[in-house]
Structure 1
Amino acid sequence: MVKKISSSETKPLKSANSSRPLYMQAALELKEEIVNGVYPVGALIPTEDELCKRFSVSRYTVREALRVLREEGLVSSRRGAGTIVEPSRSRDTDIHKVMSINDLLAFGTDTRYAIDSIKMITLDHKLADKTGLPEGEEWLQVLGFRRTENEGVPVGQSEYYINRAFAAVGRILLRHQGPIFPLIEDMFGQSVCEVHQQIAATLISKALSAELNVKENSAALEIRRSYKIPDGRILQVTVNTHPASRYRHSMTLQRFRS
């Protein structure tokens, strides 16, 4: 018999005191409780309704928080059975990654994304080369800049190219905070299974230099990520351009015996 654990008392999340989006705050709080044994292995954690009431958030926020926990292997959800705490995965069965897709949920939570434009475009030769997508196809383009909470100068430009099949998401992006791909997953019942990242050196264009307050042709890094779903389609491509002085990529490699 699965043990049901009651929800804690209502305690709204304090987004104003955190740079993390609400779903990440909720996920981290639940994760801490799981690690500390509040919800032991095999126990049911509170229902979506109970968690909505506890954190004073929407059902969408709760579902995103639970998605984070599932991707970390802390819980599993079964239709009609609720969300159950799972035992820790052993080193033999774990997949060792430098960066998981779940890490991208937290990526950039210390910045805010200000959208400048949302429109359907047809990829020309230049954009096709930049995004790795076929020339002549229609994609939803979202352009904007990321800024830190305390600084007015942008840390970089972020470009989103969203598959036309999911372009309806554009209607609500101006009201959305946080990563876009989880929103598309939730709206269309999709699941990103692979993210390919490419980092390249580039030069700041004249137009971009004014927006980023750096010299034209100064050094920059261009990070392109392609998000793929199980049927092989690309759900979205992001291209982030950062002045060299405002971005640092850190990676740790470990050796594991087979």
Structure 2
Amino acid sequence: MRAPRRTAPLYQLIADSLVARIQSGEFGIGSQFPTEFELCAHYAVSRHTARAALALLNGQGLIQRRPGAGTRVTAPAPPMRYQQEVVSIEDLMQYSRHGRLDVSVCERVVAPVEISRLLKLRGDARVIRLFGLLYGDTRDTPICTTEIFLRPARGLPVAALLDPHSAVAAMLKVLDLQQIDDVEQSFDAIELPALHAATLGLASGSAALRVLRTYVSRAGTPVGCARSLHPTGRFAYSMRLQRRRSG
């Protein structure tokens, strides 16, 4: 078969053709997907082009490639993608409020080492942990799992935070914009742990973006941390950088 007529980069046209074949049901969920060599023969393209097309589908969450295990179809259509542009703390907090967090776990735990360090706690300190799924514009597919760790403090509404029905509202009051002066963020790529993957309905080891935020009060004290794991294709984060002009 000849490659599609070129009106865009050839690898993009191959990818579009493959998406259409997945959506038609030619390749079902969990089925083995053609190899690079098979795509080369089918579309009469180079291996480099076939590899680039597969990379696009992998990035859209339609297929998953595993060394030694081949490539399998993981979704019938590209998952929804939630994009957030952030240029200020106000924007970041609006993102937190406009999304819908469904909390499934509210508990007191010994702070994990990473969280203990960020919250400046002693090694055996206990924190309140909330765990749930965050939804964006669409209400059927979660964009990430989210864990929120709150530092013990006088006046912390513990009872409300440990009740799934009131936990989200109580957490948003603790992380009140009027009391937050600084938000420290870090990003890295990881493989989804088994628990998070199962919660999201994905295979363990799937690629994800980890976003770690630490909320610091105006007094300079870390109030809480949020650790979110975003599967490939469900979330995009953007920021605008401007050159500082004098005068």
What interval of TM-score do these two structures reach, taking the shorter chain for normalisation?
Answer: 0.5 to 0.7
- Cα distance, 1:176–1:163 mapped onto 2, change above 3 Å: closer
Give yes or no for contact 2:103–2:168 (8 Å, CA) kept in 1: no
Question: TM-score, normalization: structure 1?
Answer: 0.53
2:174 aligned partner: 184
Cα separation, partners in 2 of 1:108 and 1:170, compared to 1, 3 Å: same
Instruction: Give matches, 1:36-185, under 5 Å.
Output: 99-125=87-113, 128=116, 134-148=122-136, 150-165=138-153, 168-173=156-161, 174-175=165-166, 180-181=171-172, 183-184=173-174
Which protein has the larger Cα radius of gyration, Structure 1 or Structure 2? 2
CA distance in 2, matches of 1:167, 1:204: 35
Per-residue CA deviation, residues 187-217 of structure 1 (Å, 9 max, x unaligned), is: xx97211111111111111221111122211
- Give me the CA root mean square deviation: 3.0
Cα separation, 2, equivalents of 1:242 and 1:119: 23
CA contact (8 A) 2:206 2:231 kept: yes
For structure 2, the 5+ residue unaligned runs are 1-85
Unaligned runs of 5+ in 1: 1-97
Structure 2 counterpart of 1:247: 235
Give, in angstroms, the shift of residue 228 of structure 1: 0.9
2:55 paired residue number? none
Q: How many residues align?
A: 158
Please say which of residues 128-137 and 203-212 is displaced more in the overlay.
128-137
User: Structure 1 residue 240: deviation in Å?
Assistant: 0.9
Q: 1:107 to 1:143 in 2, by over 3 A?
A: same
Give the AA of the match of 1:225.
R
Determine whether 1:223 maps to 2:211: yes
Residue 180 of structure 1 and its aligned partner are, at CA, apart by: 3.1
**In structure 1, distance between residues paired with 2:226 and 2:232:** 18
Identity of aligned residues (%): 23
Compare the two structures and name the one with the higher strand fraction: 2
Q: Which has the higher contact order (CA 8 A, sep 6+)?
A: 2
Structure 1 position 238 matched with structure 2 position 238: no
**Which amino acid is the alignment partner of residue 184 of structure 1?**
V
- Contact 1:202-1:219 within 8 A present in 2 as well: yes
